[in-house]
């Protein structure tokens, strides 16, 4: 009787193992060539573009890729942040394949429930009363609606404030002839219900002249009074969209050209600020300080570009100053990078770019001007302190 564990049987098993492995390798190589062939021969319209791959990976934490590299090269392990937990690779691959975050139901609900894309924000610093139910709302009316002629009313006190002088005080810091701040309004026709007597629908609160550009103009004068040279864009972004036949959501593409041209003309611009107004109701965008009503502000940072943390740091620093000087005025700092959002907001053009929601659709110009005074006060202090640090004597 011959034993089943003899030399011939062992050789046969070894041969079968080698055969199976070789077969797997050969089949894998064949599949790889077939896939490459399909990708290179398929019509361009059906190929997987770099933009598609970017979309797949945009929501993945960059530290996950660093961790994968570290598995092959220990040198990358030294660069892994100490304060970051090691990624869960199955969750990461699942997220890449489905764009759904296993620990965040908003990533699924945002695709299935209308309006849930508004919850694609991440609250970094929550101001007083801020939560996921009252984050900024960006209405998207048809462009022609934003350019409709509507009746607007402005009080005498608002007219006087608009016409105030912007000369700086004697003996204070000054940037001289340099303009170091650039203000613009991507949604330049966003207006306010208190000044539109014939409008009740917040989505239709748009006006060609009485709008957020008045905040920018007023803020620029106040910054100039504090010695900070400031320029304000005068381009009509909604008009550009209308001329090009673009949709409302393409406004950031139009304003991007405005910002790039401004930066190419002036190398001195250090801060780029896009001013909006929220579509949330007055109850969410108003607070009282020393008995006076103020329009609240919120900092929105896009998170879909490489160096967004630079702008996030700036927003957090300013938010802290507001918390100290004007408690309750800031609604906080949020990052928006979810699916369905722009996620860049032209902030990739500068490490000192801000998007500020100033007030809401229910605020008056008097309240907005009061807030602009506070913004000029806080920002000016921050600016001159930063100048001392960067240019010590």
Tens digits of per-residue pLDDT, 130-175? 998 899 988 889 999 999 999 999 887 676 566 666 665 656 789 9
Q: How far is CA 317 from CA 3, 57, 145, 276, 372, in A?
A: 79, 29, 37, 20, 18
What is the tens place of the pLDDT at every residue in 203-222?
999 999 999 999 999 999 99
**Percent residues over pLDDT 90 in the chain:** 58
**Percent residues over pLDDT 70 in the chain:** 69
Residue appearing with tokens 């009074």: 225
Q: How far is CA 150 from CA 30, 162, 191, 240, in A?
A: 66, 21, 11, 20
Q: Which residue has the higher pLDDT, 262 or 86?
A: 262
Q: What is the CA radius of gyration of the chain?
A: 27
CA distance 191 to 206: 5
The partner residues of 123 in beta bridges, in order of sequence, read: 334
CA distance 191 to 214: 10
Least confident of 69-73, 252-256, 295-299, 335-339: 69-73
User: Residue 169 contacts by C-beta under 8 Å, 6 or more apart in sequence?
Assistant: 225, 227
Q: What CATH number belongs to 143-390?
A: 3.40.630.40
Contact, 272 vs 354, CB < 8 A? yes
Counts for the chain of helices (H) and strands (E), in that order: 13, 9
What mean pLDDT is predicted for residues 4-17?
A: 62
| Position 31 confidence tier, pLDDT thresholds 50, 70, 90 | confident
Q: Which sequence spans correspond to the domains of the chain?
A: 33-103, 143-390
H-helix segments, 266-307: 282-285
The rounded Cα 18 to chain-centroid distance in angstroms is 55
Burial of residue 16 (number of CB atoms within 10 Å: 0-12, 13-18, 19+): exposed
User: Residue 69 contacts by C-beta under 8 Å, 6 or more apart in sequence?
Assistant: 76
Contact, 204 vs 189, CB < 8 A? no
Question: Does pLDDT of 393 surpass 60?
Answer: no
- For residue 317, give both structure tokens: 């620093």
Q: How many residues are given for the chain?
A: 393
Q: How far is CA 140 from CA 187, 192, 227, in A?
A: 10, 15, 37
φ and ψ at residue 47, rounded to 5 degrees: -75, 155
φ and ψ at residue 105, rounded to 5 degrees: -65, -20
What mean pLDDT is predicted for residues 348-376?
A: 97
Residue-averaged pLDDT of the chain: 83
How high is the pLDDT of residue 66?
Answer: 64
């Amino acid at each position: 009787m011959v034993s089943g564990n003899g030399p011939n049987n062992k050789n046969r098993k070894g041969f079968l193992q080698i055969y199976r492995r070789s077969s797997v390798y050969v089949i894998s190589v064949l599949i790889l060539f077939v896939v490459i062939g399909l990708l290179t021969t398929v019509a361009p319209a059906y190929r997987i573009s770099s933009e598609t791959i970017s979309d797949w990976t945009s929501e993945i934490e960059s530290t996950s890729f660093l961790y994968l590299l570290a598995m092959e090269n220990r040198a990358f392990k030294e660069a892994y942040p100490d304060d970051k937990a090691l990624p869960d690779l199955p969750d990461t691959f699942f997220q890449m394949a489905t764009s759904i975050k296993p620990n965040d139901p908003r990533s699924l609900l945002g695709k299935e429930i209308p309006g849930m894309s508004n919850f694609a924000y991440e609250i970094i610093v929550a101001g007083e009363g801020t939560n996921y139910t009252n984050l900024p709302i960006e209405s998207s009316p048809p462009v022609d609606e934003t350019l409709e002629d509507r009746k607007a009313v402005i009080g005498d006190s608002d007219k006087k404030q608009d016409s105030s002088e912007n000369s700086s005080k004697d003996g204070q810091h000054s940037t001289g002839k340099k303009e170091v701040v650039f203000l613009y309004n991507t949604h330049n026709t966003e207006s306010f219900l208190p000044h539109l007597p014939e409008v009740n629908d917040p989505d239709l609160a748009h006006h060609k002249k009485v709008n957020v550009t008045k905040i920018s103009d007023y803020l620029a004068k106040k910054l100039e009074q504090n010695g900070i040279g400031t320029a304000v864009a005068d381009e009509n972004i909604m008009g550009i969209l209308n001329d090009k036949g673009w949709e409302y959501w393409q406004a950031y593409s139009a304003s991007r050209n405005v910002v790039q041209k401004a930066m190419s003309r002036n190398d001195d611009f250090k801060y780029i600020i896009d001013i909006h107004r929220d579509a949330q109701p007055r109850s969410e965008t108003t607070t009282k300080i020393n008995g006076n009503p103020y329009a609240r502000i919120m900092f929105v940072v896009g998170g879909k570009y490489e160096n967004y943390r630079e702008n996030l740091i700036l927003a957090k620093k300013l938010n802290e100053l507001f918390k100290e000087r004007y408690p309750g005025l800031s609604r906080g700092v949020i990052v928006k990078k979810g699916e369905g959002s722009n996620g860049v907001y032209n902030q990739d053009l500068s490490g000192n770019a801000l998007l500020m929601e100033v007030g809401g659709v229910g605020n008056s110009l008097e309240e907005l001007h009061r807030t602009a005074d506070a913004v000029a006060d806080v920002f000016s202090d921050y600016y001159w302190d930063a100048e001392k640090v960067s240019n010590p004597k």
